[in-house]
Every structure is written in C-alpha cells, then in structure tokens.
Amino acid sequence: MKKTWMKGALPFLIIAIGFGGLTAIKASAENDEDKDAVDTRPTVKIETALAEDYQVKITSYGEVKPLESTMLSAQVSGEVISWHPNFVAGGLVLRGDTLFNIEKDTYEAALLQAEANLTLAQSQLIEEQARADVAKREAKGLAASQISDLYLRKPQLLSAQAAVKSAQSRLKIAQRDLDNCEIKAPYDALVIKRNLGVGQYVNQGSQIAEIYNIETAEISFPIAGFDREFLPLDIAQRKAVVKTKGYSPITREATISRDLGVIDQATRMSQLVVRVEDPYSLKSSLPPLKFGHYVEVSFAGKTLNQVYRLPQALVNNRIIWVLDEEQQMQPKRVEILREEGAYFLISEGLQNQDKLITTLPEYPQKGMKVKIAEPEKDLVVQH
C-alpha cells in the first residue's frame, strides 16, 4: 500500500521540483538585468589649451671675473718704509688708499733744487727783459741800419725764456717723482699678491703687486645657436640675474654690457658679457660674489605671440593626445618652437579650446573611448 502511494506521488514531485528550478532561473535572470552594465572605458584627466603671448627666458653659465687687473710697478727707486695693513694677498683696499711708501728724502731734495733752478731762471729772464727794454729805448735815436735783433737783445731774451720753461719742466718731474713715492690704489681692489716688504729696495719699473678691480665684475657666457634667434634686438643694457648654485645660493642683479661680436668656429656659439656692480659688496649688505664663482645668468628674450606652454611629459615624438567631441582619443602632431626647462613651447598643431589629455591610458589608441575623471579647467600659459 505504501509503495503504491509513493509511485503515485513521484510524478507530481518531479513536476514540482522542475517548476521550482525554472522559477529560480527566471528570478536570477531578472536580477542580472536589473544590474548596471560595467563601464570598461579608461579614465583620463583633461585640461583646456589656451594660447597666450610668452616672453622667452634665456639661461646660460659663466665664470665671474674682474673687469680689469693691474700689475703695479714702482715708478721711482728707493727703500720701502711702510705699507697699508690691507696690502696683503686677499686684502681689500679702496680707491686712493696709499698701498706703500718709498723713502722721500732724495726726491724732496730734488724738488727743492728744481724750485731753486726755476727761481734763478726767472730772475735771469727778468734781468734780460730789462736789458731788452733799455736797448729798445736807445734804438729810437739810431738809424734803422744800425738796429739789429742782437742790438735789441732778442736772442738773449728768447734764451732766458727757454731757460725758464726748462726749469719748470724739471720742477714738474721732481714733483711727480716725489708724489710717486706714495703708491695709491687706482680703484677699489682685491690684492692678489705682493712682492715687497719694509726695508726692501725697489727699482723703478719693478713689479711689486697684482690687484683686481672689485668695483665691477664681468661674466662672459655662451649663447647657443638655437637661443640666438630669441635674443632681443636691443640687447645692451638689459637687466639680467646672476645666481650661484648650492645650499645658500647668491643672487645678484646684473646688466648686459655687450656682445663680443664673433661666433666661435668650433662650437658655433656667440658670447655675451654682463656686468655686476660692487661684486664684493663694499657699498652694500649683499653677499659678496667672488671672482671664480661659476654662475647661472638668465634674462628675458623675445616675446612669442600666441604659443602654448605644455609640460614635456604630454608630448611624445611631437604627438599630443586630445579628446574629440565624442570623447574619443585623437593624436595631434605639434610643432615645438622651443624647450624651456620641463616645458615645450608649441607654435603649431593645437587650437584654442582643444581638450588635452593629461593622463594617458597604458596603451593609447586612436579613437579609443574614455571617460573624464574630473571637470575641465583652463591650462593657462605661465609667464
């Protein structure tokens, strides 16, 4: 009886299980349809390109050197009796400072002798002039044939005048020699070396020291061929900035002095020169810019009209990626006008309002659809 019941119920049980399975499958399919479709487009960031006028910055490097250097020589011979306390290697002296003194007795005596000779010559001239005046008065009562230049004492008068001029010149030389016993600094100077001491006898013309002018320093630096076309036409007297490298960099203002006017045949570079006033800061509290420093020189070049200044990372083999109206990636070939630091200046290939892709997918493809990660913002050209 029991077996008969089970046999009768089995078909109904199978039908119930099948109906339940179909219901579960249908419910699962409906749940999958309710879910959102997965967006597999890569995410990118974009910026809007805007062209602006941009002033080029030109940078080069050079060594700080003195405007001039001088080998000091003794103008007179004699014994050195004293020297300036700063007249040592590395010392700083000011224009007009007496660097050292030579014993003056001999030259003071020569000056007194020259003064005496001048006085004697002047007295002889006065005496001769008086004799000439007497002869001139006496000649009024004589016939013209009896009057000669010798009678009027003209040769004697000219000789006396010449003697006075000769005495004056010897006096001038004696005064110069006496003045040259004090050797003065011709400009604010850094003493490089000194070859004398107290008690030393120096001869006229012997070199006794070398000094550098510290009133003005010069820096000569090269300009490469690709920079020359961006130089302003009126380069002279333009302002520049000079800067050292290191933990505590020194920055000083400079003025472009001149173009050396030649192009090196080996490097094809030209040379410019800038000047820095008071490099050792004798008249200011600025840090000194010492000779021998290797410095960076930068100044403003030409202004370029309507260019795009883009990070170099966005440009690969002169190709930059933009987003079209259908949010598809498109490559654009651009013309690089100039490289400045981490940026390129682009002259052609882009248009205002182009949407620049700043974060590329791993494998960018032309026509690849992407989605934007954040709202757009303008890429403003920085000056």
Q: What is the pLDDT of residues 244-258, one digit of tens each?
A: 998 889 999 999 999
Query: Mean of the pLDDT values across residues 93-104?
Result: 94
Side-chain-side CA neighbours of residue 43 (13 Å)? 4
Asked if the model's pLDDT at residue 381 lies above 80, the reply is: no
Asked if the model's pLDDT at residue 11 lies above 70, the reply is: no
Domain positions in the chain:
44-55+305-379, 58-66+216-302, 68-102+181-214, 104-179
Output the six-digit token pair for 177.
């020699």
Model pLDDT, residue 225: 84
Span 287-316, pLDDT tens digits: 999 999 999 999 999 988 998 898 888 888
Span 152-175, pLDDT tens digits: 677 888 888 899 999 999 999 999
Output the six-digit token pair for 19.
């109906």
What CATH code would you report for 104-179?
1.10.287
249 alpha-carbon distance from chain centroid:
15
Judge contact between 251 and 243, C-beta under 8 A.
Answer: yes
First to last CA, the chain: 102
- Round the CA-based radius of gyration of the chain to a whole number and report it: 47
Q: Which residue has the higher pLDDT, 85 or 15?
A: 85
Asked if the model's pLDDT at residue 38 lies above 60, the reply is: yes
Topology at the third CATH level for domain 68-102+181-214: OB fold (Dihydrolipoamide Acetyltransferase, E2P) (2.40.50)
Q: What's the predicted TM-score (pTM) here?
A: 0.72
Only one residue has tokens 């690089």, namely: 336
What CATH code would you report for 58-66+216-302?
2.40.30.170
Span 117-162, pLDDT tens digits: 999 999 998 988 888 777 777 667 666 666 776 766 778 888 888 9
DSSP run (H or E) holding 118: helix 105-138
pLDDT above 90: percentage of residues in the chain:
44
Q: Classify the phi-psi angles of 261: left when phi > 0, otherwise alpha if psi is within -120 to 50, otherwise beta.
A: left
With a CB cutoff of 8 Å and minimum separation 6, the contacts of 269 are 222, 223, 224, 225, 263
Judge contact between 347 and 335, C-beta under 8 A.
Answer: yes
- Mean pLDDT across the chain: 85
Domain 44-55+305-379 of CATH type 2.40.420.20: yes
User: In whole angstroms, what is the distance from residue 302 CA to residue 309 CA?
Assistant: 15
